[in-house]
DNA sequence: TTTTTTATTTGGACCGGTCCAAATCGTGAG
DNA sequence: CTCACGATTTGGACCGGTCCAAATAAAAAA
């Protein structure tokens, strides 16, 4: 009934049409310096003329490795991860890799499925931000699979793998210190306590700064809420209802801070005037928040770029010792503190 | 020097270990009802025991099609697209597909590279939001490649392909109408005029509503700015500096509106009291904006889900007539209008 | 028990590249 | 004019699945 569909144009059809062997065509396609320029040009001409399309499945099959890099993040809804992803993509694309993106929504099962899938696709490597509660053994497991890995943002147990992240402790310390230097004494912390290395670090940074300045931390000022705008809203509500309101609030991250700003607005309060607010991450929204949010910038995009670079490095030298890149957060003063 | 690395476990090694043929193993792996349950169980046992990993490159090579679906968006920085992406992913994953994500940043060259790359990977299909200024011929080209395609958000020329989007015209019409019903007469529009079908539709929706109510549109009230928070900022600045300030502003989308809110804050004005503001899209940030943004909701996630479903449908029936899904925006009244 | 019919299995030809040892070409040295 | 040696080119054995026609086994019918 239907036409004997025109066989796909392959490296062999090209070889035939160009009067060379398929091996030569293969060489030409990967721009090998071995082939004589004249031959190469002849082959390219045929390639263009026949509209040849390189078949990466075939290539990956025989090379035993694809040009796909898996990138796994938890929450695309958080612009921080989006920026990171963009950074990752930029560098990888430059090097001829393509990113297979997946997000886990903090679900361990999803995370596992995704990893398996990437393995099945013969990914060249993985850039992973582990979901909360990931086993500290995860990185070893991936290593055992022979998958080059770079972990970002959240460290897992020992750092015996390439890692890119920011110094949460120092960042929060500085944020708090800044508020103290502005004369604040009653400073609250809205975020999550525990569960992960990052949350611990952030809270500890805050606590240390307070302690070192001899400021007491009222139990009620450590507000434990989900890491989201909604969480921020809840957190500041709790604080505002206390009889001793804090004069400043340090937030786990910008999303939380934005929730705080939102709620303050509802109460007719103005952040930066009535109460100081400081965030963490410096996502794009921070700049355009109302009022513009003072925050600790961690340059997500740069982190993504670094992660890619570490991965490329590792691909080139699988046995090098792990590389750790930790970014120092920088205070960006805007209107809220 | 190094061990004769242990040959990968393949369907053949499993066959041998399980005492069946590789064909049977293949059948078992795809859960074919043809094999006797007892045999299947025996094979699964070996599969688990040997830690077999399915090789999708090999599979795709022989099937001539992978389980990868390419998703191409323009601007991941816009939460709208992120939501869409999440919707897409959810449905595709359920059906055993995996998404190869790419973003073009509105760059035609990038868009083309990405398409080529997906073709090389034998993508099962493509979900594409075309970059501005894409040739109206793009969809035909992709079709000629034999790549099943669903276009989202931005239509390109004739709708002779599957499409999912929202009714920009009706949405903007309703938004404007709502403001008019609240007694506003001096209503400005901040967005981009022309360049794309969507921008035309949105502006026309606004204009029609104004016209129908016999309201004159002051030339100065049609502010042409980039579609971003920064653009919104610029736009409202222009409006505020005029001698006849509008009492309400309709924005191209929420990002623009958020820029407007931000700038109003700087001027000490309160959106919803001093001047009404209405957005479009209802991204997550809208709810937590300060003040909470009134906007036209278009349910990005749903659009993503629909797009995936259309694609799955198309994969099942390549020759069906194109399916068009247009979502009617819904007004969500919050504090700014 | 023999013959059908139906349920399971199987061998082998692909899919379209990569890789490498071996063959062939071309040119300057002897 | 030959020979050696670097520059090019090439044939064929994989890579690890899919698919299908054909073979076998098992159950049902005669």
pLDDT in tens, B31-63: 999 999 999 999 999 999 999 999 999 999 999
DSSP at B195: S
Using a pLDDT cut of 70, give the percent of chain A over it. Answer: 98
Count chain A–chain B contacts defined by CB atoms under 8 A: 123
Q: Is B229 on the interface with A (CB under 8 A)?
A: yes
CA dihedral A202→A203→A208→A213, nearest 10 degrees, is 110
Identify all chain A residues contacting B262, using CB atoms and an 8 Å cutoff.
Answer: 288-290, 292
CA distance B287 to B332: 10
Please give the pLDDT value at position B3: 35
User: Both ends of chain B: CA-CA distance in Å?
Assistant: 74
CA distance B146 to B149: 9
Q: Which residues pair with B279 in a beta bridge?
A: B295
CA distance B217 to B222: 8
CB contact under 8 A, B291 and A265: yes
Summarised one tens digit per residue, pLDDT across range A240-252 is 999 889 999 999 9
| Residue B7 pLDDT > 70 | no
Distance from CA of A57 to the nearest CA of B (A): 5
Q: For B181, how many CA atoms within 13 A lie in the half-sphere containing its CB?
A: 8
Contact by Cβ (8 Å): B161, B143: yes
CA of B120, C1' of C8: distance in angstroms? 37
Q: Is residue A331 reached through a cis peptide bond, with omega within 30 degrees of 0 on the bond before it?
A: no
The edge-to-edge listing of strands for the beta sheet with B276-281 is: B222-224, B187-191, B248-251, B276-281, B294-297, B330-332
Region B261-269: mean pLDDT is 95
Q: What are the residues whose beta carbons fall under 8 Å from the beta carbon of B195, sequence distance 6 or more?
A: B132, B133
Pick from B66, B117, B230: which is nearest to A98 by CB? B117
Distance of CA A4 to the CA centre of its chain: 48
Q: What are the residues whose beta carbons fall under 8 Å from the beta carbon of B266, sequence distance 6 or more?
A: A291
Alpha helices, H only, B213-337: 229-240, 254-266, 284-287, 300-316
Q: Which of residues 63-102 of A touch B (CB under 8 A)?
A: 66, 68, 76-77, 79, 82-83, 85-86, 89, 93, 98-102
With CA atoms as reference, report the closest residue to B258 among B221, B297, B295: B295
Helix (H) or strand (E) holding A204: helix A197-212
A110-134: string of b/e by CB count within 10 Å (b at 16+)?
A: bbeebbebbbbbbbbbbbbbbbbeb
Please give the pLDDT value at position A1: 31
CB contact under 8 A, B288 and A230: yes
Reported as a pLDDT band with limits 50, 70 and 90, residue A3 is very low
Q: What are the residues whose beta carbons fall under 8 Å from the beta carbon of A92, sequence distance 6 or more?
A: A69, A98, A99, A308, A311, A312
Q: Residue B231 corresponds to which tokens in the numbers above? A: 């653009």
* Mean pLDDT, rounded, of chain B: 95
CA of A223, C1' of C11: distance in angstroms? 68
Identify all chain B residues contacting A264, using CB atoms and an 8 Å cutoff.
Answer: 290
Helix (H) or strand (E) holding B187: strand B187-191
Using a pLDDT cut of 70, give the percent of chain B over it. Answer: 98
CA angle A92, A97, A98 (to 5 degrees): 95
CA of A37, C1' of D2: distance in angstroms? 29
Rg (CA), chain B: 26
Query: Based on the number of CB atoms within 10 Å of its own CB, is A10 exposed (0-12), middle (13-18) or buried (19 or more)?
Result: middle
Question: Cβ atoms within 10 A of the Cβ of A23, count?
Answer: 11
CA of A36, C1' of D2: distance in angstroms? 26
Pick from B99, B233, B258: which is nearest to A101 by CB? B99
Summarised one tens digit per residue, pLDDT across range A292-336 is 999 999 999 999 999 999 999 999 999 999 999 999 999 999 999
Reported as a pLDDT band with limits 50, 70 and 90, residue B1 is very low
CA distance A224 to A220: 10
Summarised one tens digit per residue, pLDDT across range B216-230 is 998 899 999 999 999
| Residue A5 pLDDT > 80 | no
| Residue B5 pLDDT > 50 | no
- Report the chain A residue with the minimal C-alpha distance to residue B8: A64
Identify all chain B residues contacting A102, using CB atoms and an 8 Å cutoff.
Answer: 89, 98-99
Please tell me which of A6-15, A28-37, A185-194 the model is most confident about, judged by mean pLDDT.
A28-37
Percent helix, strand and coil across chain A, each to the nearest 5: 45, 15, 40
| Residue A126 pLDDT > 50 | yes
CA distance A303 to A152: 8
* Mean pLDDT, rounded, of chain A: 95
Summarised one tens digit per residue, pLDDT across range B148-169 is 999 999 999 999 999 999 999 9
Which residue of A259, A290, A319 is the best one to mutate when testing the B interface, meaning the one whose CB has the most B CBs within 10 A?
A290
Identify all chain A residues contacting B288, using CB atoms and an 8 Å cutoff.
Answer: 229-230, 233, 258-259, 262
How does strand B294-297 pair with strand B330-332?
antiparallel
Summarised one tens digit per residue, pLDDT across range B281-319 is 999 999 999 999 999 999 999 999 999 999 999 999 999
CA distance B311 to A328: 44
Give the nucleotide at minimum CA-to-C1' distance from B34. Answer: C8
Reported as a pLDDT band with limits 50, 70 and 90, residue A8 is confident
CB contact under 8 A, A289 and B262: yes
CA distance B262 to B267: 9
| Residue A121 pLDDT > 90 | yes
* φ, ψ for residue A166, nearest 5 deg: -120, 160
Q: What are the residues whose beta carbons fall under 8 Å from the beta carbon of A119, sequence distance 6 or more?
A: A145, A147, B53
CB contact under 8 A, A82 and B82: yes
Using a pLDDT cut of 90, give the percent of chain B over it. Answer: 94
| Residue A14 pLDDT > 60 | yes
Reported as a pLDDT band with limits 50, 70 and 90, residue A218 is confident
CA distance A112 to A144: 15
| Residue A2 pLDDT > 70 | no
Please give the pLDDT value at position A256: 98
Question: Cβ atoms within 10 A of the Cβ of A166, count?
Answer: 26
DSSP at B128: E
Contact by Cβ (8 Å): A127, A150: yes
């Amino acid at each position: 009934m239907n036409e004997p569909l025109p066989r796909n144009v392959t490296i062999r059809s090209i070889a035939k049409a160009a009067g060379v062997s398929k091996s030569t065509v293969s060489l030409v396609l990967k721009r090998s310096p071995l082939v004589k320029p004249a031959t190469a040009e002849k082959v390219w001409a045929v390639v263009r003329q026949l509209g040849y399309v390189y078949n990466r499945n075939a290539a990956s099959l025989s090379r035993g490795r694809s040009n796909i890099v898996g990138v796994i993040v938890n929450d695309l809804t958080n612009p921080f991860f989006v920026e990171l992803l963009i950074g990752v993509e930029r560098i990888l694309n430059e090097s001829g890799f393509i990113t297979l993106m997946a997000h886990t929504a903090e679900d361990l099962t999803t995370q596992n499925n995704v990893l398996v899938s990437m393995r099945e696709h013969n990914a060249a490597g993985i850039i992973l931000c582990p979901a909360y509660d990931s086993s500290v053994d995860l990185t070893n497991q991936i290593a055992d699979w022979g998958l080059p890995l770079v972990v970002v943002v959240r460290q897992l147990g020992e750092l015996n793998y390439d890692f890119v992240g920011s110094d949460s402790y120092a960042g929060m310390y500085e944020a708090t210190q800044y508020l103290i230097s502005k004369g604040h004494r009653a400073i609250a912390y809205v975020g999550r306590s525990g569960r992960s290395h990052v949350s611990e670090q952030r809270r500890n940074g805050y606590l240390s700064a307070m302690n070192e300045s001899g400021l007491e931390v009222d139990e009620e000022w450590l507000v434990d809420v989900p890491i989201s705008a909604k969480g921020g809203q809840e957190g500041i509500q709790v604080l505002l209802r206390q009889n001793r309101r804090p004069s400043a609030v340090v937030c786990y991250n910008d999303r939380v801070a934005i929730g705080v700003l939102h709620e303050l607005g509802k109460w007719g309060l103005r952040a930066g005037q009535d109460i100081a607010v400081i965030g963490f991450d410096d996502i794009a929204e921070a700049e355009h928040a109302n009022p513009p949010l003072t925050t600790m910038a961690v340059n997500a995009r740069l982190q993504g770029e670094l992660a890619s670079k570490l991965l490329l490095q590792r691909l080139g030298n699988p046995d090098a010792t792990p590389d750790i890149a930790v970014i120092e957060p920088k205070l960006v003063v805007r209107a809220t503190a």
